[in-house]
Amino acid sequence: MNLTLKIWRQKDSKAKGQMVDYKVTEISEHMSFLEMMDVLNEQLVNTGEEPVAFDHDCREGICGMCSMYINGEAHGPDRGVTTCQLHMRMFKDGDTITIEPFRAAAFPVIKDLVVDRMAFERIQQAGGYISVNTSGNTQDANSLPISKHAADEAMDAATCIGCGACVATCKNSSAMLFVGAKVSQYALLPQGQVEAADRVRNMVAQMDLEGFGNCTNTGACEIECPKGISLENIARMNRELMKASI
């Protein structure tokens, strides 16, 4: 198929960006979206133009590196996938595809489609851990049974890949699905109880400091999340925060 691409180009974080049109031809429907971008970049290199910078790594939907806001949706029109798992069969010959970076005040653009997600790192550093040192002397893994239900729910929350689609999707650029997922994972496990109050307070405080917006329960994040992280995690985080402030 032949396509027109409207891509956000921005030289660096300080430069003013703009949308630029490109044409790609003979795109196979079996290509992944990023392979289509590879074709474009190879074309640009060969004609002496600078290729489009975009984040990507594992290309199997788990590392969370790839982003892109495609035709107005984080990770594009398919559901339950990251951009690297999006296939060109979702598009038609002759389509015009708009490709922008994830946009949020807390995710400044570094170049073209690459954004800075260090705000997520700082939130995790504020409390996204259990304070246990490495030693050969922790208690036996089976000394503390955990109900299968709680373990499975913790696992569902822990599945978050930290891509930032929730933030890019939210009209308030809220990071509450991301933070809620981490808070929930530990809140559901006995090992996470000791520091639960400090954790939720510190992570939420850091989230606010980074300039993410608030949650107004529109639920768009849950729909766009490539890993299907549930809104319940936001509710659980709010409960944990209430508990911590009493």
Partner 1 sequence: MALDSKIPHGPLKDKWTDYKNHINLVNPANKRHIDIIVVGTGLAGGSAAATLAELGYNVKAFAYQDSPRRAHSIAAQGGINAAKNYQGDGDSTYRLFYDTVKGGDYRSREANVYRLAEVSANIIDQCVAQGVPFARDYGGLLDNRSFGGVLVSRTFYAKGQTGQQLLLGAYSAMNRQIARGKIEMFNRHEMLDVVKVDGKARGIIARNLITGEIERHSAHAVVIASGGYGNVYFLSTNAMGSNATAAWKIHKKGAHFANPCYTQIHPTCIPRSGDYQSKLTLMSESLRNDGRIWVPKNIEDSKALQQRKMKPTDIAEENRDYFLERRYPAFGNLVPRDVASRAAKERCDAGYGVNATGEAVYLDFATAITRYGKVQAKIQNIENASDAKIYALGQAIVEEKYGNLFQMYEKIVDEDPYKMPMMIYPATHYTMGGIWVDYNLMTSVDGLYCIGEANFSEHGANRLGASALMQGLADGYFVLPYTIGDYLSNEIRTGKIPTNTPEFDEAEKEVSDRINFFINNKGEHSVDYYHKKLGKIMWDKCGMSRNEQGLKEAMTEIKALREDFWKNVKVPGSAGEMNPELEKAGRVADFLELGELFAKDALNRNESCGGHFREESVELDGEQKGEAKRNDTDYAYVAAWEYKGEPADAVLHKEILEFKDIELKQRSYK
Window 191 to 210, contacts with partner 1 (CB under 8 A):
191-192
Measured in Å, how far apart are the chain's first and last C-alpha atoms?
60
* Region from 97-105, 156-164, 167-175, 228-236 binding partner 1, contact rule CB under 8 A: 156-164
Does the footprint of partner 1 cover residue 219 (CB under 8 A)? no
Does the footprint of partner 1 cover residue 232 (CB under 8 A)? no
Closest CB to partner 1 among residues 53, 223:
53
Minimum Å gap between C-beta 6 and partner 1 is: 21
Which x/- pattern, by CB under 8 A, does the window 56-85 give for partner 1? xxxxxxxxxx---------------x---x
CA distance 20 to 36: 16
Minimum Å gap between C-beta 21 and partner 1 is: 19
Closest CB to partner 1 among residues 37, 221:
37
* Region from 91-99, 111-119, 218-226, 228-236 binding partner 1, contact rule CB under 8 A: 111-119
Structure tokens at 86: 């999006």
The interface with partner 1 within residues 12-51 (CB under 8 A) comprises: 12, 28, 30-32, 34-35, 38-39, 42, 44-46, 48-51
Structure tokens at 13: 């974080």
Q: Single out the residue of 101, 162, 180, 226 in contact with partner 1 (rule: CB under 8 A).
A: 162
Residue recorded with tokens 């960006």: 17
Closest CB to partner 1 among residues 174, 206:
206
Using CB under 8 A as the binding criterion, the count of chain residues that bind partner 1 stands at 77
- Residue 198 region, left (φ>0) first, then alpha (ψ -120 to 50), else beta? alpha
Minimum Å gap between C-beta 199 and partner 1 is: 11
Minimum Å gap between C-beta 217 and partner 1 is: 27
Does the footprint of partner 1 cover residue 161 (CB under 8 A)? yes
The interface with partner 1 within residues 167-186 (CB under 8 A) comprises: 185-186
Taking alpha carbons only, the member of 51, 37, 163, 34 closest to residue 107 is 163
Q: Please report the DSSP string for 79-144 in residue order.
A: SS--GGG-BGGGS-TT-EEEEE----TTS-EEETTEE--HHHHHHHHTT-S------TTSPPTTSS
Sorted by sequence, the CB contacts under 8 Å of residue 213 that are 6+ apart come out as 170, 172, 173, 174
CA distance 39 to 55: 16
